Amino acid sequence: MNLIIFGPPGAGKGTQSKFIVEKYKLFQLSTGEFLRKEIKNKSPLGLKISSVVNEGKLVSDEIVSKLIESIISQKSYKNRIIFDGYPRNLTQAKNLDILLKKYDQKIDLVLKLSVNLETIKKRISGRSICSICGKIYNDYYNPAPKKSNCCSSKFLQKRGDDTLEVAARRFETYERATEPILNFYKNSNLLKLINGERPIDQIYNEISDIIAFIEGWL
């Protein structure tokens, strides 16, 4: 099966993707990562991308599409891809359908991890890191132990308010930009909304059940 996972920054998309990849032996196609790899390898496509990036321009849909095709055309990845960070717009979504069809494949499932902005703010504002041992805590979800030599409040560091503003802006931008794409997949009956407010293992179990159901169906 091929699937796409959507979720605003801070929704836990990375964690869930990692679980799915491991359990179902899928291949995670993160476009950002692949673009960087092509640049590093100085492939013909990589050189083209470098020149665009060096000019301060955005990598075009056409280039991204070439990159995607170079992966979905490989037999070893056939029907085993989890798309992360792609498609980013409706044009890319429609193009992805065409590309997959060319290689006798399709999208079987689209997941959207839904989290509201308040939760994301709590996750960020409650977060602290121990400057001694590097452990990460959260005032709301995973408070630091009251009695500890190392992780006491004087050693806990928090990020500034600016991080919160940036996070709120990124959240809103993400939600606005993905709305038309999600509608597109909703109309194709591929979209499953996952409540991302719950504990990580509960979310994972729900996703696993959905995938198991679809795998059985395929």
* Residue 136 is a binding residue for Zn ion (CB under 5 A): no
* Residue 130 is a binding residue for Zn ion (CB under 5 A): yes
What is the rounded CA–CA span in Å between residue 216 and residue 186? 21
* Residue 150 is a binding residue for Zn ion (CB under 5 A): yes
Q: Which of 132, 166, 168, 210 binds Zn ion (CB under 5 A)?
A: 132
* Residue 151 is a binding residue for Zn ion (CB under 5 A): yes
Comparison of 150 and 200: residue with beta carbon closer to Zn ion: 150
Q: What is the smallest separation between the CB atom of 132 and Zn ion, expressed in angstroms?
A: 4
Q: What is the smallest separation between the CB atom of 154 and Zn ion, expressed in angstroms?
A: 11
Comparison of 131 and 163: residue with beta carbon closer to Zn ion: 131
Q: Which of 47, 90, 98, 133 binds Zn ion (CB under 5 A)?
A: 133
Determine the residue type at 97: D
Q: Report the interface residues with Zn ion, using CB under 5 A.
A: 130, 132-133, 150-151
